[in-house]
Amino acid sequence: MRGRSRSRSGHEPGVKVDARSERWREHRKKVRAEIVDAAFRAIDRLGPELSLREIAEEAGTAKPKIYRHFTDKSDLFGAIGERMRDELWAAIIPSVNVEKDSTREIVGQGVAHYVELVEQHPNVVRFLLQGRFADQSAAAMTTVNKGRDITLAIADMVSSELEDMELDPAAFELAAFAIFGTAASATDWWLGANDESPRRMAADRFVAHLTTIMVGAIYGTGELLGIKIDADQPIHTAVRRQQPVA
């Protein structure tokens, strides 16, 4: 027996859609986005130790209204992290060509876009990495973990390119987590504690160092898998199995 088809809106034919609920859903989505925009502006201007009241003031509203659109501070915190992730994703993915770009180019482009975004919103990055939103250290870790979605997606692309070699995909996932953790810790070091802290090194040097460190993690993963990786070749031609020592 064939199932009933659904309309383009996703609702079954003949089922009445509550227009008020749909309008509220869209309104809530719009207001949440506006509050996140305001949070970015407030954090950029006031620093990572701001209060929820200051975010509400930047949004032109009151704290109770924020709680009508976010379940708690952790929910708002997570939305801020997701916005950073989405901006980074939008910058990196169009610049990556797994079939043609070398491993070093892919890593270097990703790091360069990442550092550019950090330079645009240093206090937002401090806010996320240092967990300075009252007692939200647990929420900080949850939010920072969202950035791993990007590295895991890239790891999945790499794993797919090398599928014929039947390599352990868990090894690439582990490398992605290690690389993300390295980038987060290195960024915290590079930015310093506050806006008055000078950068530990010039941005281009930081990009070069972080790229080299990440490529090193890729080399190490290859060694564990018994393969050699030429970082200056596209992924599908860069990898070969190590020959056993006679």
Which segments of the chain belong to CATH 1.10.10.60?
19-70
Q: In sequence order, what are the residues at sequence separation of 6 or more whose Cβ sits closer than 8 angstroms to the Cβ of residue 103?
A: 215, 218, 229, 230, 231, 232, 233, 234, 235, 238
pLDDT of residue 94: 80
Mean pLDDT in consecutive groups of 10 residues from the start of the chain, 246 residues: 47 60 76 91 90 91 86 85 84 78 86 90 86 50 51 56 63 80 88 83 94 88 80 73 54
pLDDT of residue 35: 92
Domain 74-241 architecture: Orthogonal Bundle (1.10)
Q: How far apart are CA 15 and CA 154, in angstroms?
A: 41
Which segments of the chain belong to CATH 1.10.357.10?
74-241
pLDDT of residue 231: 80
Return the CATH number of the domain spanning residue range 19-70: 1.10.10.60
pLDDT of residue 2: 44
pLDDT of residue 229: 77
